[in-house]
Each structure stands twice: as structure tokens, then as C-alpha cells.
Structure 1
């Protein structure tokens, strides 16, 4: 029996961007494969290329060199619409900034991507996921009526309601205080396991990285080490 295609494969990824002082090399030949259901933390100092790597992996940025494959599909072979179709229902993203739509309630924010994807019962699914993140009583509140921790929990519910095969999280606890960061971290890993999603997260938080199956350390545009998270 053939094993399933890994959700993410990056091979020899390089990224060079122009600047007033000349070309700047952001990524320098990065290889990374993420297995089905695997949880990977990407760590390293600011400017090491972590977020750029995630943007390329998600098909939001094109590499200068190398091959990025999502679910076995070479992203270079797809235009922007094709990449969006490939991600739909299979890839979700959570960011440090919550990116909730301000004119929609919590329930509407969670339901909107499901409705766009044509999923039946989007409202009921949104209610179920808001219950999972402990916000049933806040489902009719707008983002400005929610705390930072509550907004990030809504963002998690929105990201995982479609049960994506792959979740990208870029500093998901970066805007939260210590107590909320711990709560959101615990919730994210529990919900990822429930949804059966692989997880790739960029973080500066050692406690968050320690929850991952694998920790990938970057410096100066390269992966410098890979290891299982410390016990």
C-alpha cells in the first residue's frame, strides 16, 4: 500500500529580494518535509527567514529557487487562483495579528470560510467550534467586544473548523500575555490533534516549541539543526 503524500515538501528553497543596497538573500537552500499529522516548530532569531519560509510553504510567496510542494502539487505550476484552490479546505493559517473581520460576529467569522467553500451547515459547524474553544456565550459578539485571548481562540476555531490537513501558525501567541498564551497553546495542540491536522508554527516561545514533535532551528536563512522537542 502506497503511503500518502506528505502535506508539505520543500527542496532547496532560496529567496532573494531586491533592496536599495542590492539583492538580499533571505533563504539559502532550505529543505523541509512535514509528515501527515506531524507538529513542527520553526524557531530562531528575528531575521533568520522563518516567516519567509512559511509564506513560501503556504504558497503566499514564490521562491527564487527550489521546489515547494503542497500535497504533492508543485506550487510553481499554479497561478494565484490555482494556489488558492489547492489551499481551500486543506490549508489554514493563524497569525500573531488575529485578522478577524471587524463587521462580523465571532460566529460569522468562523462560518465565512466554510460558506465560501460551499460547505453545508456552516453556521452549525461554527457554533460547534466556538463551543470547543469555550466561546459559545460570545458567539454573537464582534471582535472589538472580545479580549485578545478570545479573538485568538476565534481565529483558531475559524482555522480548524474545516479540519484542514495542514495548519500554519505564525507567532500564534505573540500578542498574548503569559496566561492567555498558555491557554491558547494548550487549545491549539488539542484541536489540531482532534482535527488530525499537521502543524507548522513559527514561534519565539520555548514553551510552545516544546510541545512540538520536531523543532527546526533557523539562522541566517538556513536550517541549522533539527531535533525532537525537549521532554
Structure 2
């Protein structure tokens, strides 16, 4: 089976249900969610805490299998792919940025950005990583370890790491949630500029109305349902 992306939208969710076990019994996290994201489109997913936004990203990225419904990533039905095939499909084409920075603590900023490029066997990974650190204004911090960086700097490294492979689709889950106002504004500006430059689609989970307003459209969730903008 070829892993080449098929024409059409990079992401389609149809009637997706996610039910997870709990001590009190099964809990329905996603309840028949539909979502379609076009190539290069920037979609902000909004809604109150606990409404299923982060679970939506986990299912859409193939990190969690839905209980029912269909998820199509680059024209491939994820239900038909095993874990290895899903990983191959994501490699170099899907990136994720989270509220927690998830940098590898024993690697420098440069090594963190280079890591996905090396996994994808990109030539000149260190040089490309250096270019991306420069794009996020951190070339002078390339040899620093995560504990030597501020929160804003760590998130900028995480953003450079996510976009260095030039993915077709970026998932960002509350990427400014751990930052003060000044750093949040800087990271948001960089993220939208770099996503546009890469031509990537963006699925952004956020509580911040100003950040959501930067997207092409808003998809609002409530209690596991998509209530607007699918």
C-alpha cells in the first residue's frame, strides 16, 4: 500500500465517537463529531474545558482509535492501518505542538529540532535545524538545554521542531496556554506566519478568543459534540 497522500482534504472526521472506560463506567468523550479541514486551512477548535477538544486531536492524528465513525488522514482510512502504518503516514506530514513543551531534556535546542529531521532521514538535518532556530529567533540559544530556556523559548523550540519537516498538517493543543501574555503573542505570531509559509493546514485547540480569531474559521465544541463550523 502506498503512503503517498491522496488528493482532497488532508483531514476528514465523520460521525466520530470515542468512549473510554472509567471507574464509574464508560464515558462518551466524542459524540458523533464531524470535521473537514482543507489543505492549507487554519481551523480553531474552541469550547469549554472537558468538552473533548484534546481527544479530538488525539483521534484525528491517529494517536487514539475512535470507538465508531471514520477518520481519513491524507485520504487514508485510519481504521484500515495498523500502528506502524499510521506512524509512516504521519512521518514528515503531521506535526503536533502541545501546551507542555515536551522537549527532550538531555538534548540541546538544536538537537531537539534536528531529531524529527533525522528520523525522517533528511539530509543536512543539523543545518536545517539551525535555520529553523534562526526563524524563531533562537539561533543564539542553539546549544542550550531545555532547563536553560524560558517557557517562551521552549515553546519556540517546540514550534521549530514541529515545522522543520514542513508538515502538511499541524495540530496545536493550547500552544500558548503555559505562557505569559507577551510570550503567548510572540508564539502565536510565529506559528501563524510559519504555518502560512509552509502551506500547512492547522488544527488549533485554544481557549483564547484572540488566538482563535486568527484562524480562517472556528469549529466550536460542547459536551463532545461539534456545534458550529464543522
TM-score (norm 1): 0.96
What does the per-residue CA deviation read over 1:140-186, in whole Å, with 9 as the maximum and x for residues that have no partner? 11101000000000000000001000000000000000110001000
1:143 aligns with 2:155: no
Unpaired segments ≥5 residues, structure 1: none
Corresponding residue SS for 1:51 = helix
| CA–CA distance in structure 2, aligned partners of residues 20 and 81 of structure 1 | 31
Match of 2:65 among 50, 62, 66: 62
| CA–CA distance in structure 2, aligned partners of residues 47 and 30 of structure 1 | 15
| TM-fit CA distance, 1:4 | 2.8
What does the per-residue CA deviation read over 1:29-62, in whole Å, with 9 as the maximum and x for residues that have no partner? 0110100000000000011111111100000000
Match of 2:84 among 81, 85, 96: 81
| CA–CA distance in structure 2, aligned partners of residues 192 and 17 of structure 1 | 33
What does the per-residue CA deviation read over 1:160-214, in whole Å, with 9 as the maximum and x for residues that have no partner? 0010000000000000001100010000000001111000011011111010001
| CA–CA distance in structure 2, aligned partners of residues 202 and 127 of structure 1 | 28
| CA–CA distance in structure 1, aligned partners of residues 106 and 26 of structure 2 | 41
Q: What residue in structure 1 maps to residue 220 of structure 2?
A: 217
1:208 aligns with 2:211: yes
Corresponding residue SS for 1:6 = coil
TM-score (norm 2): 0.96
Q: How does 1:69-218 map to 2 (within 5 A)?
A: 69-218=72-221
| TM-fit CA distance, 1:117 | 0.7
| TM-fit CA distance, 1:121 | 0.6
8 Å CA contact retained: 2:98, 2:174: yes
Unpaired segments ≥5 residues, structure 2: 1-5
Give 4+ residue runs of structure 1 displaced > 4 Å after superposition: none
| CA–CA distance in structure 1, aligned partners of residues 207 and 147 of structure 2 | 27
| CA–CA distance in structure 1, aligned partners of residues 81 and 229 of structure 2 | 30
Q: What residue in structure 1 maps to residue 50 of structure 2?
A: 47
8 Å CA contact retained: 2:19, 2:30: yes
Corresponding residue SS for 1:103 = coil
| CA–CA distance in structure 2, aligned partners of residues 107 and 186 of structure 1 | 21
